[in-house]
Structure 1
Amino acid sequence: MIDFAHAVLLPIDMQQGFDAPGTPRRWNRAVDANGLALLAAWRAAGRPIVHVRHDSVEPGSVFAPGTPGNRHRPGFEPLPGEPLVTKSVNSAFIGTDLDVRLRRLGAKHVVAFGMVTDMCVSTTIRTGANMGWDMILVPDACDCFDLPDGQGGTIRAEDIQAAHVATLRYEFCRLMSVAELTEERRAA
């Protein structure tokens, strides 16, 4: 259960670069639909949303400002009045004013989802929890990629997702599904 009057939605790095040619296989084909459902529920309720975008400083990155990959995925663009926090590291709290923005909004709960679970989403959840925020992860609105295991094999995206979600739930956040959040939001 969360107090929706004090919950802020935090879409993390919902950017087009994750669809660039040559990116490894992703597991969650419903990530966009699920994320858009959360945005729609928050907007319908008039609750605050703080968008996060990765502005890479790495030469040649698909996430460099001004490149097509830096753009938000269709439907994830901030609407007027919805702030955008830009970051150049994994955590949305490091080197940004996210903490101050959340405090000014009177937030108690930070509901996070996005790309990719094992990188920027996980790092943001961990940092937020360490800073004292009640972090809530929405796993079915997250996605990640197959990764090389360093020994010639591949770790499947589904396995990476499962391990990271379990680790985060164990110590850093609560878990809620899109259905739970949208149903609970309607009942609030």
Structure 2
Amino acid sequence: MGMRLKQIDPKKTAILVIDMQNDFIAQGAPLETPMGRRILPTLQRLLSFGREKGMSVIYTAHVHREDGSDLGRFGDIYPAIAEGAALIDDTPGTEMYPDVAPLPHEPVIKKHRYSAFFGTDLDIILRSKGIETVVITGVTTENCCHAAARDAMYLGYRVAFLSDATGTYDYPDTGYGPVPAEEVHRVTLALLNVSTAHVMTTEDFMKLV
């Protein structure tokens, strides 16, 4: 049970760097995700390895228009977004965190929902490059990374989900008890490893190339 990858062809592989933006990663940011900072050294190592091997590297940025016309239900869910304090397009908060910034030729896909595929041209770009395998990194494990992995699988891509290059935040008690980030992360990985992707460490991924 579960997707298992036995070999990676770098020319047919794309690393998706999901939402490693200042509004998520910077200390004190409106949507701060501390695990996102902890994965930075691992993600940097992966990006260096992937670029050296000839893999495509594609970034996503969760953004919204200043007038809120593309918020949908996010305005109901996240006060920081509803108030215009986070994820407003073309503001410093939506730029990639400097430690993992894209190279000039690496595309940044702007999206308005959790999934990098919903309402974007990501699938067109991947197919034009001949990509068969996508590697999921970034934040947050259970939302945008999970959604990208699911949609990638639905569209026929093989999915590698890197357990030590993804991360999330603590969940408050909304009636079901608080959930620490580590537990959200662990449970999401367990589910994905059965239903959607091959969950593995960055080191194990690199051994498949």
TM-score, L = length of structure 1: 0.90
**Paired amino acid for 1:56:** H
1:156 match: 180
**Paired amino acid for 1:140:** D
**CA 1:100/1:176 → structure 2, altered by over 3 Å: closer, same or farther?**
same
1:96-149 CA distance string (max 9 Å, x none):
011111101111100111011011001111111111111110110011000023
2:43 to 13, 29, 35: 35
TM-superposed deviation, 1:12: 0.5
**CA 1:150/1:132 → structure 2, altered by over 3 Å: closer, same or farther?**
same
TM superposition outliers: structure 1 runs of 4+ over 4 Å: 21-25
**Structure 2: 5+ residue stretches without partners:** 1-5, 66-80
Say whether the 8 Å CA contact 2:23–2:32 is kept in structure 1. no
Aligned identity (percent) is: 29
Question: How many residue pairs get matched?
Answer: 185
Distance in structure 2 (CA, Å) of the matches to 1:50 and 1:28? 17
2:123 match: 99
1:11 match: 17
Q: Which moved more, 1:64-73 or 1:111-120?
A: 64-73
Say whether the 8 Å CA contact 1:31–1:141 is kept in structure 2. yes
Q: Which moved more, 1:85-94 or 1:45-54?
A: 45-54
Say whether the 8 Å CA contact 2:22–2:29 is kept in structure 1. no
**CA 1:127/1:25 → structure 2, altered by over 3 Å: closer, same or farther?**
closer
Aligned partner of residue 56 in structure 2, secondary structure: coil
1:47-105 CA distance string (max 9 Å, x none):
21111111134441411113222111113222122111110100000000111111011
**Paired amino acid for 2:132:** K
Matches within 5 A, 1:63-78: 63-78=87-102
1:48 match: 56
Matches within 5 A, 1:87-166: 87-151=111-175, 153-166=177-190
Aligned partner of residue 57 in structure 2, secondary structure: coil
Q: Which moved more, 1:19-28 or 1:85-94?
A: 19-28
TM-score, L = length of structure 2: 0.81
Distance in structure 1 (CA, Å) of the matches to 2:105 and 2:33? 35
Cα RMSD between the aligned structures?
1.9
Q: Which moved more, 1:16-25 or 1:145-154?
A: 16-25
